[in-house]
Amino acid sequence: MPTYKLYYFDVPARGELPRIILSAAGQPFEDIRFSGQEWPKYKPKMPFGQVPVLEVDGQMIAQEYAISKFLARQFGFCSEDNLDHAREDMYVFLSEDIYVKVEEIFHTRDDKEKSEALKKKFVNETGPVMLSKLEQALSKSASGYLVRGKLSWADLAVFSNLGVMEFILPTESVNLLEHCPNIRRNMELVRRNPNVNTYLKQRPSPNA
């Protein structure tokens, strides 16, 4: 049985999808969280000098989506069918596009004017368009899941990436998701998954 260690800062962000996939699988793992002050101690040990990094039996894997796809395959959250697999990826990377916009707003927070302009554009233009595509896809799903009528890494990625949106832009996210009942239902399905729910209850509160 492989052993898993996940290295990331003590915030959700890019470490959260791997943590959620491991948790959804019911797979015990060492959740190695650190502060910005502690980071220089870890950085030289990471393959690309960045995190998240997954250590599997001593092998270090970098890049959030390489880690997440490996874990999704390992634990049955990826379709074997090539076309369904591409459809899962399509939603994973749509949620990543949303993540990137939100991350940009967060990273420019010290430049109030720039950050506010980016936020305004996201809240009024890009965000609603991207969310509407997801909402449209989910409105056709009887099960509430994105692909194959069952939980896949696409649902977990949406939950994780939109969770970051809710964390960075709490008030704006309530308004953005108000008209997206099917996204809210999808996220609720993931939140109520017993393994995910256990993880969420014991997850340390983020210190962004």
Ligand X SMILES: N[C@@H](CCC(=O)N[C@@H](CS)C(=O)NCC(=O)O)C(=O)O
Residues that bind ligand X (CB under 6 A): 13-14, 43, 50-52, 63-64
Q: Cβ 51 to ligand X, closest distance in Å?
A: 4
> Is 13 buried (19+), middle (13-18) or exposed (0-12) by CB count in 10 A?
buried
Q: Cβ 193 to ligand X, closest distance in Å?
A: 24
Instruction: Tell me the pairing of strands 59-62 and 53-56.
Output: antiparallel
Spacing of C-alpha 197 from chain mean position = 15
Q: Cβ 83 to ligand X, closest distance in Å?
A: 25
Q: Cβ 23 to ligand X, closest distance in Å?
A: 19
Q: CA torsion sign, 22 to 144 to 166 to 69?
A: positive
Residue 51 or 183: the one with the smaller Cβ distance to ligand X is 51
Residue 50 or 139: the one with the smaller Cβ distance to ligand X is 50
Q: Cβ 185 to ligand X, closest distance in Å?
A: 28
Distance spanning both ends of the chain, measured CA to CA? 34
Q: How far apart are CA 61 and CA 80, in angstroms?
A: 22
Which residue minimizes CB distance to ligand X? 50
Are the C-beta atoms of 31 and 204 separated by less than 8 Å? no
Residue 2 or 36: the one with the smaller Cβ distance to ligand X is 36
Residue 67 or 138: the one with the smaller Cβ distance to ligand X is 67
Buried b vs exposed e over 146-177: b needs ≥16 C-beta within 10 Å?
bbeeebbbbbbbbbbbbbbbbbbbeebbeebb
Residue 74 or 197: the one with the smaller Cβ distance to ligand X is 74
